[in-house]
Structure 1
């Protein structure tokens, strides 16, 4: 199926925020891309500019059902990733993470293909270790409102490593920390999109708790570069590897920067913290630097400018 250095690559969740950027980069590298999405959170609009590309194919499919295709590599990104979306149907969220992983691993086993799992910093829960290294096992509530996603992703990692040990499947597992950029879903409830939209509309900016909880924000182009470098490592590198920006900001600092960059007249209002909301989140990227020669290059101010420009255009 390979033609020279060209591969046919499956991207599940390919019409989503991250998936659409990944499809774009893979096409830029000269590969054929099969983009699979059930359009629960992904949209055709995210990949509309790719539809005329002869090496790009878009398929509507839910990964909780088996998929019978012929490809060289698999990137498994399919799963709603924001609390608003993954709590809308928590049973389906857990099934997407777990059954979706089983189906993609089964496909990889049949094809003897390398398979990438988009895991998450949520596997660390509300951490007692800061910043979070990959060796930290996490502190997760197994029966809370976020558990469908947190525990679903943890179980998916379990399955990836068991398939690797039992069947020799070549796996790559990346733990994604907060990512932002163009094509974020406007109603996904994530902090960057929430703050940007509220600021652009001059609405009250909602902060939870006192806004002192911290997050680390990675621009999407940096993240996708980390994905590609991880996928190109040799078979001894399985991950999990943290991919994120170690720069740490309070949510209040983020809100103040968004207000500055948008010139908004918004005022900040405070609401109670949601259940199980982590107090702090910051990746230890020692492994990514050493193994992938990767670290983020786009500062928060620059990435926010690009993200704000995208939302201004979409609102206009």
Structure 2
């Protein structure tokens, strides 16, 4: 969805997987883009094609510190999103979620900018409700290995809605379900990248648990459409709104599809399930369909085809 006029838009975490795709789309729609990243997990290669663009600016910055810029809109995507990366420095992960939200909300308050928060399906934890609707409060371990991310994102949502109530900020909160596509980090530890990389290398494919736990996989182009639709919706639509593909697959099914698409000789190798790993994950996207006119269009096999082609170029 295109905007009615050009804006100066800040994207934190802009050199990451989702952030780089968002920057590209915003430039394509005629906006000025200020990409901010501390390159903890973001990659300069993700945004190299954008560096010469006259409406693109890159700034190395950590969102745990205040940022003094002038912008019309803010997309707050800054935070490691894979367990391997966010558990490597859990204190910093919590700071990125909480202090990052405070600093970006403060910037939005000063500049009167509309602000978008990239929240996550992890706020639902290991859910007792299936599929997950936005009014479900979740089942999250507050002191586990994943808590820095899960509870950090939950606290960020709290801050967004308190700033809305206390300062009348224009906010948008999206709860993102598993997303995949080109520019995923090969070593991010997420299931799609893990399975594709192992299949392409002919290694055994690691399956945690019995492989019957489920996920719903959304292709990145569909997700970015959801971001833009939410951001351009009326101020009354604040979210949180689930954005994801409701087609549900077991992890074993995903691995078998990737093996077939790559022609790999890899075998499945089963390992113990990590602590607090959700058994089921599927979004209810009725609100996104009703309020944003959004639903994903790209099926898993089609999206995996393009994702596999990308990984062939980087490993």
Query: Which TM-score applies when normalising by structure 1?
Result: 0.98
Shift of residue 94, structure 1, vs aligned partner: 0.2
Residue 301 of structure 1 is matched in structure 2 by 301
Q: Which residue does 1:216 correspond to in 2?
A: 216
**RMSD of aligned alpha carbons:** 0.5
Count of equivalent residues: 312
C-alpha displacement at 1:125, in angstroms?
Answer: 0.1
- Determine the C-alpha separation between the residues in 2 that align with 1:52 and 1:314: 22
The separation in 2 between residues aligned to 1:31 and 1:209, in whole angstroms, is: 45
5 Å matches for 1:106-255?
A: 106-255=106-255
For residues 199 and 94 of structure 2, the distance between their equivalents in structure 1, rounded to whole angstroms, comes to: 33
What's 2:15 paired with? 15
Counterpart of 1:281 in structure 2 is 281
Aligned mates of 2:75, 2:209 — CA distance in 1: 36
For the residue of structure 1 that corresponds to 2:68, the secondary structure is: coil
Task: Find the counterpart in structure 1 of residue 99 from structure 2.
Answer: 99
Is 1:66 matched with 2:66? yes
- Which residue does the alignment assign to 1:42? 42
CA–CA distance in 1 between the matches of 2:91 and 2:134? 27
Gaps of 5+ in 1: none
Alpha-carbon deviation of 1:5?
A: 1.1
Distance (Å, rounded) in 2 between the aligned partners of 1:220 and 1:161: 26
Structure 2 residues not aligned, in runs of 5+: none
Deviation of 1:214 after TM superposition, in Å, equals 0.1
User: After superposition, what is the alpha-carbon deviation per residue over 1:206-242, rounded to whole angstroms, capped at 9, x for unaligned?
Assistant: 0001100000000000000000000001110100000
CA distance in 2, matches of 1:35, 1:293: 28
Q: Tell me how far 1:313 sits from its aligned partner.
A: 1.1
Report the Cα offset of residue 66 of structure 1: 0.1
**Match for residue 264 of structure 1?**
264
Structure 1 distance, partners of 2:238, 2:295, is: 18
- What is the CA distance between 1:142 and its match in structure 2? 0.2
Per-residue CA deviations over 1:109-146 (Å, capped at 9, x if unaligned) read 00111000000000000000000000000000000000
Please give the TM-score of this superposition, normalised by the length of structure 2: 0.99
Instruction: Give 1:93 deviation, angstroms.
Output: 0.1
Aligned equivalents of 2:87, 2:313: Cα separation in 1 = 29
Q: Distance in 1 between matches of 2:205 and 2:235?
A: 46
1:288 and 1:237 map into 2 onto residues whose CA distance is: 10
Q: Secondary structure at the match of 2:88?
A: coil
In structure 2, how many angstroms separate the alpha carbons of the residues matched to 1:52 and 1:106? 30
SS in 2 for 1:87: helix
Which residue of the partner structure matches residue 25 of structure 1? Answer: 25
Cα distance, 1:314 vs structure 2: 1.2
